Amino acid sequence: MPEGKIIKALSGFYYVISDNETVQCRGRGVFRKNNVTPLVGDEVVFQAENNKEGYILEVKERKNELVRPPIANVDQAILVFSAVEPSFSTSLLDRFLVLVEFNHIKPIICITKMDLTNDEQNEEIQTYANEYRNAGYQVLLTSSETEEGIKELSPFLDGEISVFAGQSGVGKSSLLNALRPDLELKTNDISSHLGRGKHTTRHVELISVGNGLVADTPGFSSLEFTDIELEDLNFCFPEFQQHSEDCKFRGCLHLAEPKCAVKIAVDNHEIPLYRYEHYKTFLQEIKDRKPRY
């Protein structure tokens, strides 16, 4: 039986790419019975008489899946944040980073609109970029206007399934247009091509950009830590992990425990204070979460 990848799901049809051919498929009734919903990004086994009529027989095991947007097997998230207009927010970025790390998706931080910064703003962004690099993240500084950083970003997409995520107005559409001009995505207002236009259908689609696939989706619509437990949060801050092995207590939450290596690293300016403050805020948010029954 042939195998392929779902690149679009729309109105009960799944569009499966296999050997550079796209086949329109329906899901077998057995999926509904077993409570399995095929997702864009799924590797599937299917059968088809022609490229208009096929049936998905099996969904292969997923390495990850997101609920909003509904997509599976994402390799990386390009977290798009503007240097200015709107102002760069470490708090929001750290929230995105935690969600991405928790879902075992590789994050790449992409700071846009560098052409709009003055000298002071540019210096501040360079400092933040270096601090996030020291924490273990890949950081790119870009401008869709001057094309700064676009050539550096392109190779990261090769052979990967990527999701572009970030608040509206930061330049996600402009960035995708710079990477692939024929897309002609609308900027400023929310792009209809990205599933949030005048039509109400919000579907996810994988589009080819360079030698990779980009999820054509509005990105994360929920930024709540609904599935993250207290003990998980430490693993979503990579620079904490480097130090937490030296904490006196196993399972240290880095709050009031004595001889906490993470707090020592903060005091020694090895971990930026704002990262630690965000960690404490997120920890409290998880503690305050209403229990699920």
Domain CATH code at residue 17:
2.40.50.140
Look up tokens 């997101």; give the residue: 66
Do 33 and 95 lie in one domain? The reply is: no
- Examine the fold and report which residue of 60, 92, 108 is the final residue of a domain before the chain moves on: 60
Q: What is the pLDDT along the chain (293 residues), one digit of tens a residue?
A: 999 999 999 988 999 999 989 999 998 876 777 788 899 999 999 999 888 889 999 999 999 988 777 899 999 999 999 999 999 999 999 999 999 999 999 999 999 999 999 999 999 999 999 999 999 999 999 999 999 999 999 999 999 999 998 888 888 888 988 999 888 776 654 344 443 333 333 678 899 998 999 986 666 666 788 889 999 999 999 999 999 999 999 999 999 999 999 999 999 999 999 999 999 999 999 999 877 65
293 in any annotated domain:
no
Look up tokens 């949060």; give the residue: 233
Q: What is the 8-class DSSP label of residue 291?
A: P
Provide the pLDDT for residue 291: 74
Identify the CATH number of the domain in which residue 158 sits.
3.40.50.300
Do 134 and 78 lie in one domain? The reply is: yes
Do 185 and 138 lie in one domain? The reply is: yes
Q: What is the 8-class DSSP label of residue 231?
A: H
Q: Is 103 exposed, middle or buried (0-12, 13-18, 19+ CB in 10 A)?
A: middle
246 in any annotated domain:
yes
Do 80 and 175 lie in one domain? The reply is: yes
Is the pTM here over 0.85, yes or no?
A: yes
Provide the pLDDT for residue 190: 38
Answer yes or no: are the C-beta atoms of 84 and 114 closer than 8 Å: no
Number of domains into which the chain is organized: 3
What are the structure tokens assigned to 152, written together? 């550096």
Do 111 and 18 lie in one domain? The reply is: no
100 in any annotated domain:
yes
The amino acid present at 176, given as its one-letter code, is: L
Do 45 and 177 lie in one domain? The reply is: no
Distance CA(33)–CA(35), nearest Å, equals 6
188 in any annotated domain:
yes
Do 255 and 202 lie in one domain? The reply is: no
- Examine the fold and report which residue of 216, 244, 262 is the final residue of a domain before the chain moves on: 216
222 in any annotated domain:
no
Look at residues 238, 228, 244 and name the one whose alpha carbon lies nearest to residue 109.
Answer: 238
221 in any annotated domain:
no
Handedness of CA 63, 64, 65, 71 (dihedral sign): negative
225 in any annotated domain:
no
Do 196 and 240 lie in one domain? The reply is: no
- Examine the fold and report which residue of 216, 249, 278 is the final residue of a domain before the chain moves on: 216
Contacts of 33 (CB under 8 A, 6+ apart): none
Answer yes or no: are the C-beta atoms of 104 and 74 closer than 8 Å: no
Do 56 and 150 lie in one domain? The reply is: no
Domain limits for position 272: 230-288
b/e sequence 62-86, b meaning 16+ C-beta within 10 Å: eeeebeebbbbbbbbbbbbbbbbee
Do 210 and 121 lie in one domain? The reply is: yes
224 in any annotated domain:
no
Provide the pLDDT for residue 49: 86
Do 156 and 185 lie in one domain? The reply is: yes
Do 53 and 169 lie in one domain? The reply is: no
